[in-house]
Amino acid sequence: MLATSFVHPDWGLLHDQFWALTVGGLTAGSIYALVALGYTMVYGVLRLINFANSEIFMIGTFGALFATKWLGIAPGADAIHTGFYLVLIMGVCLIVAMAFSGTAAVALERVAYRPLRKRGATRLAALISAIGASLAIQEFVAFRRGRNFEAFPRVANRDVLFTFFGAEIRTDQVFVIVGALVMMVLLDQFVNRTRLGRGIRAVAQDSETATLMGVNIDRVVMLTFLLGGIMAGSAGLLFVFFFEVTKYNIGFIIGIKAFTAAVLGGIGNLRGALLGGLVLGLIENYGSALWGTQWKDPIAFLVLVLVLMVRPTGLLGEALGKARA
């Protein structure tokens, strides 16, 4: 018969583990939020779903992984560092991850989207190109690295920082959440305060007028992809730091969830990406407690389908180019 967990949600489990689930949800949600930024920015500027953003993220994870190999850090007890060295290691990994992802994103735009943009192709044609690019990148990585999980060394101790109503809150969880928030604040500041950021918002709002004002569309688009890539790269680092694995196709499920987060928060809205990511992380964690972990991924799909059907503009609903008073 139908799995009983489907019909009888486990409220007890949800109640007992509520705060642990909440922290876990916020952690995962922070990662979704960072990747969501890539989707939402590209959509805001080009009205295009960058289906391959998931692979940009995946490339970031491998960047972080390679950085540890170059630094000579292998999985094992002596991989753990503290203090200055830890900061150094994380810094290097972060930069390498962002470099990998940012470069990949810019290359992707050049090869798979720009020619279509120049020809006035439809959005659907661009989406197909995105799918093709996503497949090609995934398979290329599989070809080079195989199809098995690869381990990322634990470079920091996972101490319990404090407890909150019985839930243990660890350093790594805090690091992910805070790290993601910092990246997002930086991006927000960049987009709202710098000249380049203004260019992005102008193009998102009205590309024709923006050009008349002297904005170089090609450069803005490239910058948008670069920024989205950098965000995805940082998400990649946080992901391998927390989950300690990566593989050629981890991008897919993270990407779908990140896209769901972007839509949930309001596509084209940077703050919406943050909100959407966190909310989605919470929903899927609570859901997996209620109905079992095997339903965790379908929950994300279900949220996506429901949001698109019921409230496609999302929770915050504004577009990137919206002038904020």
Partner 1 sequence: MNTLADLRGKVSGKIPQYNVRDAGARWWAGLPRWARVVLIAAVIGFFFVLPSLTIPLIDTPTPWASVLFSPIALYVLAALGLNIVVGYAGLLDLGYVAFYAIGAYTIAVLTSAHGSLSFWVALPFAVAAAMFAGLLLGTPTLRLRGDYLAIVTLGFGEIIRITANNIEWLGGPRGITNIPRPSDIGPLHFEGLNAKPYYYVGLTFIMLVILMVRAFERSRVGRAWTAIREDEDAAELMGVPTFKFKLWAFAMGAGIGGLSGALFASYQTVITPNNFTLQFSILFLAAVVLGGAGNIPGVILGAVLVAYLPERFRGLGGQRVFWYGVALVAMMVFRPQGIWPSRRRAAELADPEAGEVLAAVTEADVERIEEELEDVSLPAHELEGHHDG
Name the residues that contact partner 1, by CB under 8 A.
1-3, 6, 46-49, 111-112, 115-129, 131-140, 143, 203, 205-209, 211, 217-218, 221, 252, 256, 259, 266, 294-295, 297-298, 301-302, 304-305, 308-309, 312-313, 317-319, 321, 323
- Minimum distance from CB of 44 to partner 1 (Å)? 11
Q: Tell me how far, at minimum, the Cβ of 307 lies from partner 1, in Å.
A: 10
DSSP helix/strand/coil, 290: helix
Judged by beta carbon, residue 12 or residue 298, the one nearer partner 1 is 298
Residue placing its CB nearer to partner 1 in the complex, 241 or 248: 248
CA angle 109–110–113, rounded 5-degree value: 55
β-strands 160-164, 167-170 pairing: antiparallel
Least separation in angstroms between residue 23's CB and partner 1 is 26
CB 180 within 8 A of CB 34: yes
**For tokens 């292998």, what's the residue?**
74
**Given the complex with partner 1, which of 26 and 105 has the nearer CB atom?**
105
Instruction: Pick between residue 13 and residue 20 the one whose CB is nearest to partner 1.
Output: 13
Q: Where are the alpha helices (DSSP H) in 109-249?
A: 114-119, 123-145, 171-193, 195-205, 207-212, 217-243
Q: How far is the CB of 10 from partner 1 (least distance, A)?
A: 15
Minimal distance, residue 55 CB to partner 1, in Å:
10
CA angle 56, 62, 65 (to 5 degrees): 150
Nearer to partner 1 (CB atom), residue 144 or residue 195:
144
- Is-contact 276 315, C-beta < 8 A? yes
